[in-house]
Structure 1
């Protein structure tokens, strides 16, 4: 039960629509449930301000479906599923049984959203997601869609890397960079984009190294080290290909 649900419950008691005993019973619900293969956290939204997210990679399609159903049955209106395979999507749609349980899936980012889609009219602030190249878009979309799921306005600036720096410093792109509350800079190869963006903006920059690049890129390690050694102030770094982590952190910054 999240903060909003608790407030609604207390309001119903205040209006006489629910008894104190019924409300107490709901509040006594266990904060998690042992499903054998998972212990879904029903109080995550109340503790942290955002509900539990399912990391799909490594889980079976059955496990993903059952965890999502369990979270929604305990009041979570929507569930974000990251690294969800096409096979897991197909299994979900074929076995969900409840026709009201929707699944919105994006194949590029491998993001699935079970339940209600977020209301974009209530999105706040401004997060800019910028990529060095088109090859970084799967990670970028994971970040962007995570931030949108959490209620943020997101602007995408894709393929604006240092190989063609004029694409980044044109008027339209610079207006977005200078008006952002937080920027997510995503790049592979040498990872230079984060330092450039950090030197142009007055807001926090979250750098995301990607595993894009030839042999000496070492699966993103070269970009990671470059970003960690950025001489631009205000640049923080998340793990290689961790678009979700960047989107979540950007949301926390944007909503402060």
Structure 2
């Protein structure tokens, strides 16, 4: 359980992915941009890659200034994610397959955080956006395609009334992860109403993560899909 001590800034859990299946990821929100850049650099030196979430534009500029040119910086703007990697690094594909559906266009940024996270954990992500239940026929085609691709789990992102994940779970025999967003107004209460709707679901088999927690949903989905992929391939559990 190696820790990388970075002065008094952080104790980086360098091999978290080997222990818990999810890599150490730096949450940029609430941290000085210089700190985020420093932690990304220390982590990439240790493991060949690093990742930060909820990264704003000012922080991105500092990262580009601090990270040496020998490393590759990838910015996922809509997801607000930045990855840093050694030259030639490629994510190892696990065979895990994740389905991802966003109810509205306004939910895309949270959905993208989910997508990028799952992909960084080695999964293949099949996604469809603006498939909300106000037009129920919009979700049927994408859902059928995801099932034909053999997805192992589906993440459904929704704000407002958030009935889409409940509906999806009633149609599939897979675990569904509900991801409430803060999209909405009035009694939507910055995501509280969507969260409560999902928690009150009458469709068993629906799990729920916190409001706007795209990273958490992506990580959970990838954990499930990666475990299924290992079983599918007949690989022993580690």
Q: TM-score, normalised by structure 2?
A: 0.89
1:81-109 per-residue CA deviation (whole Å, 9 max, x = no partner) reads 1001111111111222x211221012111
Match of 2:143 among 150, 160, 173: 173
Q: CA RMSD in A?
A: 1.7
Higher helix fraction (1 or 2) = 1
Note closer, same or farther for the CA distance 1:177–1:191 as it changes in structure 2 (3 Å cut): farther
Q: Quick check: 221-230 or 40-49, which moved more?
A: 40-49
Q: Specify the alignment match of 2:83 in structure 1.
A: 113
Could you list the structure 1 runs, at least 4 aligned residues long, displaced by more than 2 angstroms after superposition.
Answer: 116-123
Q: Distance in 1 between matches of 2:90 and 2:100?
A: 20
Higher strand fraction (1 or 2) = 2
* Kept in 2: contact 1:33–1:41 (CA 8 A): no
* Kept in 1: contact 2:6–2:39 (CA 8 A): no
Match of 2:48 among 71, 77, 86: 77
1:149-185 per-residue CA deviation (whole Å, 9 max, x = no partner) reads 0000001111111111111113x53131463200000
Q: Distance in 1 between matches of 2:112 and 2:140?
A: 22
Q: Distance in 2 between matches of 1:154 and 1:125?
A: 9
Question: Based on CA coordinates, which of the two structures has the bigger radius of gyration?
Answer: 1
The SS at the match of 2:12 is coil
Q: Distance in 2 between matches of 1:38 and 1:243?
A: 23
Report the CA distance between 1:145 and its aligned residue. 0.3
Match of 1:126 among 97, 100, 111: 97
Q: Specify the alignment match of 2:176 in structure 1.
A: 205
Q: TM-score, normalised by structure 1?
A: 0.83
* Kept in 2: contact 1:118–1:151 (CA 8 A): no
Match of 2:164 among 193, 199, 202: 193
Q: Distance in 2 between matches of 1:45 and 1:207?
A: 24
The SS at the match of 2:140 is coil
Report the CA distance between 1:80 and its aligned residue. 1.6
Q: Distance in 2 between matches of 1:107 and 1:166?
A: 30
Note closer, same or farther for the CA distance 1:173–1:150 as it changes in structure 2 (3 Å cut): same
Q: Distance in 2 between matches of 1:112 and 1:203?
A: 31
Bigger relative contact order, structure 1 or 2 (CA pairs below 8 A, ≥6 apart): 2
Q: Distance in 1 between matches of 2:145 and 2:158?
A: 21
Q: Distance in 1 between matches of 2:4 and 2:144?
A: 46
Structure 2 segments unaligned to the other structure (5+ residues): 228-238
The 5-angstrom pairing of residues 176-255 of structure 1 reads: 176-177=146-147, 179-255=150-226
Note closer, same or farther for the CA distance 1:205–1:118 as it changes in structure 2 (3 Å cut): farther
